[in-house]
């Protein structure tokens, strides 16, 4: 393999799926900078029409795009189709969000002229995408940025370039040029160069806290460059009193193991009231044992596929063994059915007895269980993290949920719903190591354009007052 190549392999089979050359950062930025003014000068209605055409192109290519996602990430075909549906839905949501979040305002005053608030695009925006939702999550930055009038350079994860190529082809076929909606192939080094390039006006990142912090540090002395960081979470799901044990178990399994646990909003910690522990864990263990793990196109359809690669699988197994050797009690052992491929069975481990539980995002199907005496202890345990993306309360009363909502540190807080599966019609983001207070989804419009305040009169009119001598 050439050092200038990026190669994507199917996690489920190990077969090479895609190969491409690494791009030139300076050339990509120069191309975008030259194309941006004409794009920004297009009427908003034109830009909206073109992203609507993009949605139609995705609809036409839906089956092939879903198949590419499934092959490249290993996720089941049903889930890949859901991701494609989210890509299409994002267009209308973004159009509505732009109108609501960045709408023009005008106030007239006969003597003082008029006051106006309008929004301008930043310029050239770099979108750095993740591998777990290689179409939906970057698309959540790209569409709002294009509507606002920015040019976009999209560098996908080096693990999912095939999906990115197919996604960006839909923008280009819709009539948005490959300079305005530009695919850039590269690895971590090229990502760092794009972030630091003086011709880039904004960086929109979805990925790990480690990389997000590095971006934040790199740009700390450059306040003029907009940065939106959507990072991970060590997310808690807290269970208090409820008679609906089987429903609670389903919500827990959905939260922890959908997408093989490879969601930033997945539940990593199950915090359970003592009195609920035995019946709940019996139900969760039984339901988890029924999960079908398999390749994307298997029949019957699997609930979850492999994790992204063998390195990720090895790290997760090592993490499970770490907990086991430091006082953890296995409720369901994590196993690796095939040592050559990154398939894992879901692991569940009671870590209550571990004094210093690592505050890390274990990005896979590994759930820690922690016993608590009551809701106050549950809230305290939920907040024992530097992250703050999502949190859910299962059971309890409306008063309990009010206390939970008021005291838990997270950007997404749910009641009797999973920690994941957030609506694109609401803001999505966290605090602490989960983000930098620039939520995405419906609020993406906020970081894709900046407000400009104006006072305006058709003719100059002014008079001098106090402090001037008579002329």
Same fold, 5-231+435-456 and 235-415: no
Contacts of residue 320, defined as CB under 8 A and 6 or more positions apart, other chains included, come to: 333, 334, 347, 349, 366
The DSSP annotation for 175-206 comes to T--TTTEEE----HHHHHHHHH-TT--EEEEE
Question: What pLDDT is stored for residue 353 in this prediction?
Answer: 97
Instruction: Average the pLDDT over each of 107-116, 117-126, 276-285 and give the range with the smallest value.
Output: 107-116
CA distance 74 to 131: 11
Q: Indicate the fold that domain 235-415 takes in CATH.
A: Aldehyde Dehydrogenase; Chain A, domain 2 (3.40.309)
pLDDT category of residue 2 using cuts at 50, 70 and 90: very low
**Rounded average pLDDT over 111-123:** 90
Residue 3 scores a pLDDT above 70: no
- Reported as a single tens digit per residue, the pLDDT across 392-404 is 999 999 999 999 9
Q: Is the pLDDT of residue 271 over 70?
A: yes
Candidates 57, 72, 264, 381; catalytic one? 264
pLDDT tens digits along 336-362: 999 999 999 999 999 999 999 999 999
Cross-strand pairs, 415: 393
Interatomic CA distance for residues 63 and 55, integer angstroms: 14
Q: Is 170 a catalytic residue?
A: no
User: Where exactly are the structural domains of the chain?
Assistant: 5-231+435-456, 235-415
CATH 3.90.1200.10 holds for 5-231+435-456: no
* Average pLDDT score, the chain: 96
Q: What is the pLDDT of residue 470?
A: 84
* Catalytic-residue membership of 314: no
Whether 374 shows a pLDDT value over 50: the answer reads yes
What DSSP string runs through 118-145?
EEEE-SEEEEE--SSSTTHHHHHHHHHH
The model's pTM is 0.96
**Percent of the chain whose predicted confidence (pLDDT) is above 90:** 93
Could you tell me which of 437, 263, 458 has the C-alpha nearest to residue 365?
263
Query: Which residue in the list 72, 190, 230, 283 is annotated as catalytic?
Result: 230
pLDDT in tens, 208-239: 999 999 999 999 999 999 999 999 999 999 99
pLDDT digits (tens, 9 = 90+) for 165-200: 999 999 999 999 999 999 999 999 999 999 999 999
Residue 460 has pLDDT above 80, yes or no: yes
pLDDT-derived band at 1, boundaries 50, 70, 90: very low
């Amino acid at each position: 393999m050439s050092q200038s190549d990026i190669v994507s392999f199917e996690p489920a089979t190990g077969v090479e799926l895609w190969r491409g050359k690494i791009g030139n950062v300076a050339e990509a930025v120069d191309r975008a900078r030259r194309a941006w003014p004409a794009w920004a000068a297009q009427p908003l209605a034109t830009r909206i029409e073109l992203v609507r055409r993009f949605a139609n192109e995705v609809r036409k290519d839906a089956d092939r795009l879903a198949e590419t996602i499934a092959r490249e990430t290993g996720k089941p075909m049903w889930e890949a189709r859901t991701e494609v549906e989210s890509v299409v839905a994002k267009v209308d949501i973004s159009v509505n969000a732009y109108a609501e979040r960045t709408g023009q305002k005008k106030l007239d005053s006969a003597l003082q002229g008029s006051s106006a608030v309008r929004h301008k695009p930043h310029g050239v925006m770099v979108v750095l995408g993740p591998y777990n939702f290689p179409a939906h999550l970057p698309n959540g930055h790209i569409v709002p940025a294009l509507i606002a009038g920015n040019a976009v350079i999209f560098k996908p994860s080096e693990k999912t370039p095939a999906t990115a190529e197919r996604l960006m082809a839909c923008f280009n076929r819709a009539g948005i040029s490959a300079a305005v909606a530009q695919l850039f192939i590269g690895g971590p080094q090229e990502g760092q160069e794009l972030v630091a390039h003086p011709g880039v006006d904004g960086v929109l990142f979805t990925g790990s806290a480690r990389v997000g912090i590095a971006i934040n540090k790199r740009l700390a002395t450059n306040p003029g460059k907009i940065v939106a960081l959507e990072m991970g979470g060590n997310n808690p799901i807290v269970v208090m009193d409820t008679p609906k044990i089987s429903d609670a178990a389903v919500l827990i399994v959905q939260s922890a193991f959908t997408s093989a646990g490879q969601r930033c909003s997945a539940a990593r910690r199950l915090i359970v009231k003592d009195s609920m522990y035995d019946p709940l864990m019996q139900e969760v263990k039984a339901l988890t044992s029924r999960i079908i793990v398999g390749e994307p196109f298997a029949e019957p359809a699997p609930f979850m596929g492999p994790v992204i690669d063998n390195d990720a699988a090895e790290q997760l197994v090592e993490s499970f063994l770490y907990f086991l050797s430091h006082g953890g009690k296995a409720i369901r052992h994590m196993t690796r059915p095939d040592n050559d491929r990154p398939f894992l069975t879901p692991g569940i481990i009671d870590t209550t007895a571990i004094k210093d539980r690592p505050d890390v995002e274990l990005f896979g199907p590994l759930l820690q269980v922690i016993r608590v005496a009551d809701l106050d202890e549950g809230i305290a345990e939920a907040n024992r993290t530097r992250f703050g993306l999502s949190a859910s309360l299962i059971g309890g009363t409306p008063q309990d949920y009010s206390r939970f909502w008021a005291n838990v540190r997270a950007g997404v807080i749910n009641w009797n719903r999973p920690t994941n599966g957030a609506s694109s019609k609401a803001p999505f983001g966290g605090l602490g190591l989960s983000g930098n207070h620039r939520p995405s989804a419906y609020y993406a419009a906020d970081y894709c354009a900046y407000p400009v305040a104006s006072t305006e009169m058709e003719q100059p009119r002014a008079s001098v007052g106090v402090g001037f001598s008579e002329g």
